[in-house]
Structure 1
Amino acid sequence: MDNLLFSFNVIFPLFVLLFVGNLSVRFNWVDKETLNKLNKFIFRVPLPILLFLGIYNMENIDVQNSVKMLSVILIALPSVTIIMSLIMNRTKLPNPKKAVIVQAWFRSNIMIFGIPVVQGMYGDVGLPLLSSLILVAVPLVNILAVFVLEGYRGHDISASKLMVSVIKNPLVDAALLGFILFLLQIKLPEIILSPLNSLSKTATPIAFIILGGTLEFDSIKNNIKLILLGSVGKLIITPLIVILAAISIGLRGMYLGCIVATIASPVAVSSFTMAKEMDGDADLAAQLVIITTVLSLITIFFWLYGLKSFNLL
């Protein structure tokens, strides 16, 4: 019973926030234009600040387990990308759909889902560890996405484009700045930290309300088989492989929890944006974001419940 309550307490608040966002749009309390502007604000201010503070406040982290945790992600995400690309290449699907399915299997909504899941499990104590993982995962995922999308539209991979996609990402910039201050042991005065902390606390609730407001289920039936393939891969198969790998090298507790939050999260909203810009199937990408977002509330619940039952978290 305690394990069920543990999982419920992590997931239910996220469901409520999604519901509030969806309800707000249905009752015209906010419109889509407002949500779009808020979305830009969230990804440029509160989320980067939250990530910056997470790394800036790092302390008492087990270096050996941290290296193991980062190694799992560094090996797992490219491996999943290569395997899925090989599988997709044996199908007769159009290249834009292949690109979106491959991207869906490795591209997680770490910032919006991963952070609240870790906070729900461990409180703010888990944020520094997750932030170090995000520092590695975000640029890696962006690079893999460019490789996949450019590869399937038949273009050469541009090293400069890869660098720009990483450098222009405000999350990467914030994480690097936090890491530099952490390494140099530079302490910011309270007059700066206080407003930063206040802004960071708005990140998760506003992000989930925005996400809930953007959920639409029209035209899902047109791609039902591909949506099923992408959803099962993203929420069940990929997490199963990565979590078993993490357990096999001895990761437990918060380190395993951060892996779960990273790898079991739904497809990232940014996957739709990149698919649209780089000739992927944008409609399929949007549908995968919607369906995996809803289903992940169930699958993450069971991942947490199962791992907690075996005393692994």
Structure 2
Amino acid sequence: MSLAAVFQETLNVTLPIFAMVFLGLVLKRLRWLDQGFVTTASMLVFRATLPALIFLSIVEADLAATLDPRWLGFFALATLGSFLLAWGWARLRVPRAERGVYVQGAFRGNCGIVGLALAAGLYGDYGLSAGGLLLGVVILTYNALSVLALARYQPQAATDWRSLAGQILRNPLILAVAAAVPVAALDLTLPTWLATSGHYFASLTLPLALLCIGATLSLSAARGPEGRLALGASLMKMVTLPALATAAAWLVGFRGRELGVLFAFFASPTAAASFVMVKAMGGNATLAANIVALSTLLASLTVTLGVFGLRAAGLI
């Protein structure tokens, strides 16, 4: 296959995702979407449609092909390594008061929406089911490490670890994975009417979530005194860490679909949830918003080039 054909295939995967994001931005500017819609739709996605999508993708998957403890363990270790690298860099180059916000923005990706959408675009049902299993690891590691970084540099924030553990265990995405794995392992079949209705409902997830990301994206947020720090964190999130983590995955032997899904998750822009956590813990919410905005804007370029490069090299 020629490089031009590979690039065209890459655009077919990445452009629909980022087109929906920028459509959300345009619709917000036209005032067709308001904050009330974004709040309600985001809650619907998080609490209902995304768990339904994850549940169905795992139930209908071949667990023998997707449930790989070595693969899941590598992702957890790579996440920890990314976190430690971002923290080490922050200690050298970032003012102490902003380090927690910088670290969280530099390592915490929007895997639940963008990562899952990329995995599905690359590998269809396999991408959804494998990505759904990875989300269980994502939720546990991202939340625990984010609180650790923020609590270290926001001493006025009281960290209730028991409450945090309860929130993680009650997370709808964790519950969806926990419910789906035994159903898939026992090879149980859902009634046709229930599966069909579930797919109708779950199909709302990605377009609705991507529109909401676009509607919350603020181009003006990327300006201001924190712009340089935000750019540094965004470049680490979108260039440095995905490149290092993907290279490490290749070195330990992951290829094809496994490597492709890992890259989709590593290369996701900073999660909007990072802004919410920073605000709740009394950190610099403006810097957090800047990182989310800049990393999302960069993603349309870095993800496309990353997928193209990996495909051109025959690695995914």
Q: Normalized against structure 1, the TM-score is what?
A: 0.93
Residues 1:282 and 1:168: Cα distance change in structure 2 (over 3 Å): farther
Which 4+ runs in 1 deviate beyond 6 A?
none
Structure 1 residue 187 displacement after superposition: 2.7
Match of residue 83 from structure 2: 81
Could you tell me whether the CA contact under 8 Å between 1:151 and 1:157 is conserved in 2? no
Match of residue 151 from structure 1: 152
CA distance in 2, matches of 1:217, 1:294: 9
Match of residue 43 from structure 2: 40
CA distance in 2, matches of 1:56, 1:111: 18
Could you tell me whether the CA contact under 8 Å between 2:222 and 2:291 is conserved in 1? no
Could you tell me whether the CA contact under 8 Å between 2:96 and 2:153 is conserved in 1? no
CA distance in 1, matches of 2:51, 2:280: 23
Structure 1 residue 226 displacement after superposition: 0.6
Alignment match of 2:266 (pick from 258, 263, 266): 263
Alignment match of 2:214 (pick from 196, 212, 215): 212
Structure 1 residue 184 displacement after superposition: 3.4
Structure 1 residue 87 displacement after superposition: 3.0
Residues 1:219 and 1:50: Cα distance change in structure 2 (over 3 Å): closer
1:135 maps to 2:108: no
Alignment match of 1:289 (pick from 285, 292, 312): 292
Structure 1 residue 153 displacement after superposition: 1.5
How many residues align? The count is 311
**Identity of counterpart residues, as a percentage?**
28
Mapping of residues 167-246 of structure 1, within 5 Å: 167-222=169-224, 223-246=226-249
* Superposed CA offset, 1:195-245 (max 9, x none): 111111110011111111111122422212111111111001111111011
Could you tell me whether the CA contact under 8 Å between 1:61 and 1:129 is conserved in 2? no
CA distance in 1, matches of 2:22, 2:84: 36
CA distance in 2, matches of 1:126, 1:80: 23
Residue aligned with 2:268, SS: coil
Match of residue 276 from structure 1: 279
Structure 1 residue 255 displacement after superposition: 0.3
* Residue segments in structure 2 that go unaligned for 5+ positions in a row: none
Amino acid at match of 1:12: L
Match of residue 115 from structure 2: 114
* Superposed CA offset, 1:171-193 (max 9, x none): 11111111232233333222222
* Residue segments in structure 1 that go unaligned for 5+ positions in a row: none
Report the aligned-residue RMSD.
1.8
CA distance in 2, matches of 1:205, 1:261: 17
Could you tell me whether the CA contact under 8 Å between 2:234 and 2:294 is conserved in 1? yes
1:11 maps to 2:14: yes
CA distance in 2, matches of 1:86, 1:58: 39
Residue aligned with 1:8, SS: helix
Alignment match of 1:251 (pick from 223, 230, 254): 254
Residues 1:157 and 1:19: Cα distance change in structure 2 (over 3 Å): closer
Higher mean alpha-carbon deviation, 237-246 vs 149-158, is at: 149-158
Amino acid at match of 1:240: A
CA distance in 2, matches of 1:233, 1:131: 25
Could you tell me whether the CA contact under 8 Å between 1:143 and 1:165 is conserved in 2? no
CA distance in 1, matches of 2:281, 2:94: 20
Structure 1 residue 24 displacement after superposition: 1.4
